[in-house]
Amino acid sequence: MGKISILSWNVNGIRAVHKKGFLEWFKNYKPDILCLQETKATRKQFPNDIKSIDGYNLHISEAVKKGYSGTATYSIIEPSNVEYGFGIEKFDLEGRIIISDYDDFVLFNIYFPNGKMSPDRLQYKMDFYDAFLDYADKLKDKGRNIIICGDVNTAHKEIDLAHPKENSKISGFLPVERAWMDKFFSHGYVDTFREFNKEPEQYTWWSYRTKARERNVGWRLDYFFVNKEFMDQVENSYILYDVMGSDHCPVGIDIKTKE
């Protein structure tokens, strides 16, 4: 029986976090798989020393719009297949999706949309959620095990943000977004972190304004989900609160393998 460690981090710009010691942090932690969101860079714009890291495959999904969105997956284990979207152009163009097949499981690295900009973007976010769930369900219905990680841009319950009442009309904690999360879990998926930690004040994002991180006034927006059948292979799910460099911190999961 082996173990695989997977980390997920919204870096809020790969070039920005690179200047803040990203490579040293990466080499120190040595995850088997690292999923990044909001890289804000094309493959050409990735700094050379993190474009090719010994022992890792790198898959990059870049947005058509420059300096926007973007995801990247570093992996010691080479996936048997990689997809960069749901097959729906309006979602795939934003570089938010990398789906890697590792045979024992399919890993979704996703930067879900933010709905704060406008009613149109909120609708885009909700449509993206539905397209994602449809795609994941089809794989699950075929008997595949699924791991989903990334910045989901919604706090599920009141325990998942510091000021729930004050934010109940803000995208990220709207009733419609929270209801979608309820629907998602009803389809047979599990919020892995809450299987191991039921405590309040467990956050992954803090506004840069008002020294929110120092005061731990945050939101839990970054998750690892699995289909419930796979949960018995999950050994731990955690938040790396002390890792700096972004307005988000990394989250992680350790899973047992059959090898």
pLDDT tens track for 124-153: 999 999 999 999 999 999 999 999 999 999
Q: Share the mean pLDDT of the chain.
A: 97
**Sequence-ordered list of residues with C-beta below 8 angstroms from that of 109, at least 6 positions apart, any chain:** 8, 35, 36, 37, 71, 72, 73, 97, 98, 99, 100, 149, 150
Class of residue 193 by CB neighbours under 10 A (exposed 0-12, middle 13-18, buried 19+): buried
Domain count, the chain: 1
Report residue 67 as tokens. 């300096």
The residue-averaged pLDDT of 40-69 equals 95
pLDDT beyond 90 at 210:
no
CATH code for the domain of 171: 3.60.10.10
Residue type, 234: V
Alpha-carbon distance 91 to 87, whole Å? 8
User: pLDDT by residue (tens digit) across 221-256?
Assistant: 999 999 999 999 999 999 999 999 999 999 999 999
Q: What is the pLDDT of residue 98?
A: 98
The predicted structure's pLDDT at residue 191? 98
**Domain membership of residue 131 as a residue range:** 2-257
pLDDT band at 117 (very low <50, low <70, confident <90, very high): confident
Confidence of residue 257 (pLDDT cuts 50, 70, 90): confident
Q: What is the pLDDT of residues 160-192, one digit of tens each?
A: 999 999 999 999 999 999 999 999 999 999 999
Question: Is the separation of the CB atoms in 47 and 39 below 8 Å?
Answer: no
Q: Catalytic residue positions?
A: 151
Confidence bin at 259 (pLDDT 50/70/90): low
Please compute the mean of the pLDDT values over residues 85-94 and round it to a whole number. 97
pLDDT of res. 209: 86
The predicted structure's pLDDT at residue 13 = 98
| Mean pLDDT across 84-103 | 97
Which residue, among 242, 193, 190, has the nearest Cα to 220 in the 3D structure?
193
* Strand partners of residue 161: 219
